Amino acid sequence: MALTAGHIVSIVATLAVIMTLGVLSGRKVKNAADFNTGGKSAGAVLVAATITGTMIGGSSTIGTAEGAFSHGFSAWWFTLGSALGCLLLAWIYAKPVRQSDCMTIQEIISAEYGRTAGLVTSVLTGIGIVLNIVAQILAANALLGSMFGFSPLTCSLVSVVIMVCYGLFGGIKGSGLLGMVKLTLLYLTAIVCGVLALMMQGGFGGFWRALPAEQYFNLLSRGVGTDLGMCFNVALGIISTQTYVQAVMIGKSNRAAVRGCLLAAALALPVGFFSVLVGLYMRANFPAMAAAGAFPDFILQYLPAPLAGVALATLLITVAGTGSGMALGFGTIISSDIYREFIDPKADGKKLLAVSRGIILASLIISAAFTLGNAGSAILGWGSMSMGLRAVVLLAPMTTALFWPGRIRPGAAVSSSCLGVAVMLCGNLLSLPFDTLFIGLLAAILVLIIDFCRR
């Protein structure tokens, strides 16, 4: 369906409000500390909003509807994994991470295993973060294509502009404030669309009669290894992602940080569930359509123009929030762990702020360029692969640094990350019946166990 004047007015108004808030939030940012940790003054709600502002993005909404259109309820594993990751972050990692008083995961690793370990993990993690930014721009391109019929190049340019306004100015605290607004709008969008899809299909019975139950109502329809692999990919990726660790850091206390993580876990589940319902409805009624357009096309076809405009703008901001959040974490890693450590150790807060913003902008542009040759790729596949790569690189050495300091030699920590990535990438060349995260992470852990036993 073509956009009407009502659609366009509400889309532009919603985007203008969100982007203006993003720019204005940068007025209080004076240095890198304000940008990266927000002065460590956030309560539980702001911590949760910061996490969900990045975590609930294109993969959790447009990508989940796309996955449900193709595979059914197994697409819900992405948001189930997100919730599990938040629970693990709250129960196991939040307090030790805060007690380390480090700004990045790589700083935690560097403090225990030396500068080389920090550099290697920074580079390898950066690749994983860029892959997730690619997933968000692909989601944004699918949305903008459904809305305006733009070319992939135009879609990518518009996506980058919105992501820049969302996260480049206000930093981590600005992302949290915008996350509150975005989450409210997103919940209304997901609930309205999911409930409407359920009602129009005649309840779950209508879905059951219209679609093959063995495929579309089976949480493990793609295989235990594949579907649980996606869940653990995402869960362990949450723990190993700079953006979420940064969100824990901004909490004004350990209690606020932990409660924020628990709240984020609870908030993740409904969005994925309602997105699945939208995907199922579009599969049952429009089986020949492009899967990636399931959510935006549903909105265009079934919501009144003003509400549809707000919903479409909300989805676009949702994607932008995750993309800019990933870029923010990437900028913090490169500016703190590479630029300040190896290039300009005397850089002050203002200079680091400028460097971080420059890196954020560059990462968005590079990711957008990469999407131009991958326009038909599955969004959830990119998001899951990104999470798994970060987990293989960081989880094992970060865990030993936090909980068993002095037990592992620096060379083993570096070897753990490198071997884990190598095994994971080699596994992707084979047709394995499970996610290659498992063998990559197992290889990384075995290196550390062997070194521990030799000491």
pLDDT value at residue 36: 44
Place of tokens 């139950």: 213
Beta strand extents in 254-317 (DSSP E only): none
Q: How far is CA 76 from CA 57, 126, 177, in A?
A: 14, 27, 27
pLDDT at 248 exceeding the cut of 80: yes
pLDDT digits (tens, 9 = 90+) for 130-164: 877 887 788 788 778 877 778 888 888 888 887 77
Percent of the chain with pLDDT over 90: 31
Residue (of 163, 126, 181, 124) closest to 322 by Cα position: 163
Beta bridge partners of 42: 251
pTM exceeding 0.75: yes
pLDDT digits (tens, 9 = 90+) for 286-329: 999 988 789 989 998 999 888 888 888 887 877 777 777 778 77
Based on its alpha-carbon atoms, the radius of gyration of the chain, rounded to whole angstroms, reads 21
pLDDT band at 197 (very low <50, low <70, confident <90, very high): very high
pLDDT band at 377 (very low <50, low <70, confident <90, very high): low
3-state class (DSSP) for residue 251? strand
Instruction: Note whether 169 and 29 are within 8 A (CB).
Output: yes
pLDDT digits (tens, 9 = 90+) for 230-239: 888 889 989 9
Instruction: Note whether 78 and 71 are within 8 A (CB).
Output: no
Domains of the chain (ranges, CATH numbers): 5-378 (1.20.1730.10)
Instruction: Note whether 334 and 359 are within 8 A (CB).
Output: yes
Higher pLDDT, 206 or 50: 206
pLDDT value at residue 314: 81
pLDDT at 34 exceeding the cut of 50: no
Rama region for 347: left / alpha / beta (φ>0; ψ in -120 to 50; rest): beta
pLDDT digits (tens, 9 = 90+) for 331-370: 877 887 788 888 888 787 778 778 877 888 888 888 888 7
pLDDT band at 170 (very low <50, low <70, confident <90, very high): very low
pLDDT value at residue 217: 93
